[in-house]
Structure 1
Amino acid sequence: MIGKLKGLVDSFGEDVVLIDCGGVCYEAFCSARTLQALPRVGEAAVVFIETVVREDMIRLYGFATEAEKAWFNLLMTVQGVGARVALSILSALSPSELSSAVALQDKAMIGRANGVGPKLALRLVTELKGKVPAIGSIDAGTLGLQAALGEGVASGNVADAVSALVNLGYQNAQASAAVARIVAREGDGTPTEKLIRLGLRELSA
């Protein structure tokens, strides 16, 4: 199986890139975000690959990061999500935004993607809760929550809980990590007071 392509960008299509690896061009279908992140034609590129084999085809899907590839595979585990819908979601949301949407059970955020209706958005946040892939040694849910806090889109109780923990002397990264873990377990509707209480317990463990 092909795990990664290293070569020169040969050309771009609407949703594909051709990577020239020693004279052999591989066609990889990509999200809009990955296509935008790739260098120009003729320049060196590295694309992480997921190979999907079916009875009637073998198709390569390319990703700019391992995090995006991990999300692609995770999204595909949800009923009703095929490769096309998964790429659509990854075109609309970055891995950290996806992590935030799942951690905060934000159906509307995932519903931004083309082809994702209210029912599918609900199924996605429900089935993926607690399954967010890790990025290196940092939990992707934590990164997502930090992004949500920074952009002012985290729900009020969550933002207030993180703020309270920071005011008590904990670093923002520590507080975000603790609250992200609690939200993943308890849900984003957990009252602020409970989030703070559980957060303190989490941080003192």
Structure 2
Amino acid sequence: MIGKLRGVVDSFGEDWVIIDVQGVGYQVSCSAKTLAGLPRPGEPATLAIETYVREDMIRLFGFTTATEREWFRLLQSVQGVGTRVALALLSTLSPTELANAVAMQDKASIARAPGIGPKVAQRIVSELKDKGPALVLADPGLARLQAAAEANIAGGAAASEAVSALVNLGYAQVQAGQAVASAMAKLGDEARTEQLIRAALRELAT
């Protein structure tokens, strides 16, 4: 199995790149974010590779980092998510953004990716929330905030209400969650909803 390619960028397609390794050109499928981060043709590049072997073909998927490759594998553990959908999601959200969305159970951000409807988005955030690798890159404050909200302890109810209020004002779920998590870290777990909202709005204004 091929786990890594180091060579020279030969050419690009809509969703692939050809890496020339000592005269052999490997066509590698990539997310849009990975393709955008690669150098120009003729310049050296290294990709972490996931190899799929089928009866009628061998297909290579390339990633800038091993973490992105791990997300590609993890996403496909969810029913309804194949290679095409996994790449679409990684084209829309970075691994960190994806981890934060899972931590906050933000299915709206997941559903931004082409080919992902509300039901699949819900399965992704539900099935991956308890899997360790899914939260490795998540904002620790977001993870604690979501855990408190689910357990309804340590100010979780006030935090949830504050996040909801900010979302109603037009802020994205993850953005609101990060601001409230920061506010709670400063004010403490006993902070009231209105205090958290005011502090979070100050965070968002800076």
CA contact (8 A) 1:29 1:60 kept: yes
- 1:166 is displaced (CA, Å) by 3.3
Q: Would the alpha carbon gap of residues 121 and 46 (structure 1) be closer, same or farther in structure 2, given more than 3 Å must change?
A: same
The CA deviation string for residues 36-58 of structure 1, in whole angstroms up to 9 with x for no partner, is 00000000001110001222221
Aligned-residue sequence identity (percent) comes to 56
Alignment of 1:119-198 (within 5 A): 119-133=119-133, 139-142=136-139, 145=142, 153-154=173-174, 156=176, 159-167=179-187
Q: Which residue identity lines up with residue 40 of structure 1 in the other structure? A: R
Structure 2 residue 49 is the aligned partner of structure 1 residue 29: no
Q: CA RMSD in A?
A: 2.9
Q: TM-score, normalised by structure 1?
A: 0.72
Stretches of structure 1 lacking an aligned partner (at least 5 in a row): 169-178, 180-190, 194-205
- Measure, in 2, the Cα distance between the counterparts of 1:8 and 1:163: 47
Matched residue count: 167
- Measure, in 2, the Cα distance between the counterparts of 1:132 and 1:109: 20
Q: Would the alpha carbon gap of residues 54 and 36 (structure 1) be closer, same or farther in structure 2, given more than 3 Å must change?
A: same
- Measure, in 2, the Cα distance between the counterparts of 1:6 and 1:101: 32
Say which structure, 1 or 2, has more relative contact order (CA 8 Å, 6+ apart). Answer: 1
Task: Determine the structure 1 residue equivalent to 2:97.
Answer: 97
Q: TM-score, normalised by structure 2?
A: 0.72
The CA deviation string for residues 121-176 of structure 1, in whole angstroms up to 9 with x for no partner, is 001111111225279xxx31237949xxxx974375663343232356xxxxxxxx
Stretches of structure 2 lacking an aligned partner (at least 5 in a row): 144-170, 193-206
Larger radius of gyration, structure 1 or 2?
A: 2
Ranges of 4+ aligned residues in structure 1 off by more than 6 Å? none
